[in-house]
Amino acid sequence: MNIKEIRTFIPSKNYEVSRTFYKQLGFKGESAGDELTVFAKNGCTFFLQKYYNEEFAKNLMLQLIVPCIQEAFESIAKINISNVKHSEIKEETWGKVVYLWGPSGELLHVTELGS
């Protein structure tokens, strides 16, 4: 079996709010039906679905690896959407990270890996 890519399906409590959130992170969305959007940026893709399960959403974690955590933090700080919150930049032994909670409770680890 030759696998080219793996994509996740992210749930949304409010589909339009979640679409706005991911667009503000810089992803481009394309409809894949009435209840599904494919988001893409720099070759990274995922599905946003018009489906919500609280337990799943609040346990979903994704890692976004970025080249510059400061630049990412400045972009994240501009997001003004209800239920979206973020941490300050944290230094870890493996790099730097900002924790970003999306509008449905999903947790994004925005990470600049150390060298």
How many Å apart are CA 24 and CA 76, to the nearest integer? 8
What is the separation of C-alpha 75 from the centre of its chain, rounded to a whole number of angstroms? 13
Q: Give residue 82's pLDDT band: very low, low, confident or very high (50, 70, 90).
A: confident
How many Å apart are CA 88 and CA 15, to the nearest integer? 27
Give tens-digit pLDDT for 12-35.
999 999 999 999 999 999 999 999
User: Which range of residues forms the domain containing residue 83?
Assistant: 9-113
Residue 3 belongs to some domain of the structure: no
For residue 53, give the CATH number of its domain: 3.10.180.10
Give tens-digit pLDDT for 44-68.
999 999 999 999 999 999 999 999 9
Count of domains for the chain: 1
Q: Look up the pTM and report it.
A: 0.92
Cβ-Cβ contacts under 8 Å for 43 (sequence gap 6 or more): none
Q: How do strand 107-113 and strand 61-65 relate by DSSP bridges?
A: parallel
